[in-house]
Amino acid sequence: MRGFLASSIGVTCAAALALPLTPPAVAATARPVPTTEAATVARPALHAGTPATATTTRRAAEAATPGSTQSLPLEPLTRDRATPSAPATEQGLHRRAVRHFSLVGVVWDDPEAELHGRVQVRTRAADTGTWSGWQDVRTHNADHGADRNTAESASGRVRGATAPLWVGDSDGVELRVRSETGSAEHGSAQHGTGARDLPAAPPLPSGLRLELVDPGDDARPPGAPADGPRTAALAGENSAAEASAVNADLAPLGATEIAALNRAETEREFLALNAGELTEQQLRAKPYVGPRPGIVTRRGWGADEGLRESGFRYTKKIRAAFVHHTASGNNYRCSQVPSLIRSIHRYHVRSMGWRDIGYNFLIDKCGKIYEGRAGGVARPVLGAHTLGFNSNSMGIAVLGSYDTKKPSKAAVKAVARLAAWKLGLYRVNPKGKTYLKSAGSNLHRKGKKVRLNVISGHRDGFITECPGRKLYGKLGSARSKAARYQGR
């Protein structure tokens, strides 16, 4: 792959001049967003308790609104005043009107601290004014992230966080966070002596905040000026050009999608990308690489390239694919996926403090594949998806929650097609085994060489429920399909 890495360096430098300044699907977001964005660029809220009205007219007037994040500090919900020696065990926010948002999450100061308890949220739909029931937010999310002692994890910006939850366009919210001990019920039943014998609920992490993420609109009216200073807009446009240029060997600059290829075309691409690295015998042999699937680029889903850190980070090669679910809920339409991914991107960067979205690829329930972390879809981009095993691997996230719900056949097929192609570029058998060196997780100590399936679930590298029991149960099928796509 070194030939491919070198071939696009020249086009990266010239891309800012060749690429149109305004991406077709994300003109309003192609700019860096200030840290104080919650107070400056979020949409106006309706009055508290007032249902949304004249939605079509209002949305048309707001068509140029960029994405934003409202970050709201939590308050004690009990009458007992919290003190340093007795911190509040229940915090949250009473029902209130807020500016528009579509995704929620809770963050806190210390990324090493855990939230032992339950997080529940209710939201008000912006179009109907109807309040949802209480929805659980996944609290254990530390299994995702950059490996410890890397520049990304040691940046000083990383925070502890729940998984994000997609709620759709909303303008009201209510939240409760309760500290709970996992042994409370067991202890009460066993000893039968009431609350006096229950262990004290652990304290909640400090600095709890509710993050309300507005992904922004897909496009703005033709000719509308970019928000923010021209220098900031240019910085975002240059970053967009940079992100597009690293895929220049696969698609034209500024492409919103990398087209699918048939097997013969993919084999020619394989030989071109691996030029100079294959032996004479390998050049004569038939390559085991699956046909390249269609992939929606970052430009296609409207990434705000001004959010991420500049430049790219790479690992040596791709030896394994870790499959995840985003645990963000299943209440999304496939037409909403660009907005959903923009929301996750903003949550990972602005709220959690990562350098970019953590996953290398994302797949929706309709089977469409999306480029994740910037750096080039054919390259070994270093992600932040499987704590302890980000090196020499890629992370594929299926959008949704799959603990009890089965993933769609289209999504499982897309996992197989993507793995067959990307693993094939690195001459890896998707039905095989591989060894990865652990950078440290709660399942494998740092430095241990761990034998894994080439296509593994997140839970194979970390004690976690991810990618959900139902999706994990489909990985055997994904391995077999991927091998067939490679011609094995």
What pLDDT is stored for residue 147 in this prediction?
A: 86
What pLDDT is stored for residue 87 in this prediction?
A: 58
What pLDDT is stored for residue 441 in this prediction?
A: 74
Residues of the chain with pLDDT under 70: 1-65, 79-87, 182-199, 219-236
Tell me the backbone φ, ψ of residue 56, rounded to 5 degrees.
-60, -45
What pLDDT is stored for residue 44 in this prediction?
A: 44
What pLDDT is stored for residue 61 in this prediction?
A: 37
Please give the Cα distance from 412 to 482 (Å, whole number).
Answer: 10
What pLDDT is stored for residue 187 in this prediction?
A: 35
What pLDDT is stored for residue 356 in this prediction?
A: 97
What pLDDT is stored for residue 54 in this prediction?
A: 41
Contact 107, 159 (CB under 8 A): yes
Please give the Cα distance from 438 to 460 (Å, whole number).
Answer: 12
What pLDDT is stored for residue 53 in this prediction?
A: 41
Q: What is the pLDDT of residues 350-380, one digit of tens each?
A: 999 999 999 999 999 999 999 999 999 999 9
Angle value at C-alpha 185, between 183 and 189, nearest 5 degrees = 115
- Where do we find the tokens 């289209």? 410
Per-residue 3-state assignment (H helix, E strand, C coil) for the chain: CHHHHHHCHHHHHHHHHHCCCCCCCCHHHCCCCCCCHHHHCCCCCCCCCCCCCCHHHHHHHCCCCCCEEEEEECEECCCCCCECCECCCEEEEEEEEEEEEEEEEEEECCCCCCCCEEEEEEEEECCCCCECCCEEECCCCCCCCCCCCCCCCCCCCCCEECCCEEEEEEEEEEEEEEECCCCHHHHHHHHCCCHHHCCCCCCCCCCCEEEEEECCCCCCCCCCCCCCCHHHHHHHHHHHHHHHHCCCCCCCCCCCEECCCCHHHHHHHHHHHCCCCCCHHHHHCCCCCCCCCCEECHHHHCCCCCCCCCCCCECCCCCEEEEEECCCCCCCCHHHHHHHHHHHHHHHHHHCCCCCCCCCEEECCCCCEEECCCCCCCCCECCCCCCCCCCCEEEEEECCCCCCCCCCHHHHHHHHHHHHHHHHHCCCCCCCEEEEECCCCCCCCCCCEEEEECEEEHHHCCCCCCCCHHHHCCHHHHHHHHHHHCCC
Q: Tell me the one-letter amino acid at 145.
A: G
What pLDDT is stored for residue 16 in this prediction?
A: 46
Please give the Cα distance from 118 to 138 (Å, whole number).
Answer: 8
What pLDDT is stored for residue 190 in this prediction?
A: 37
Contact 125, 166 (CB under 8 A): no
pTM higher than 0.95: no
Beta bridge partners of 174: 122
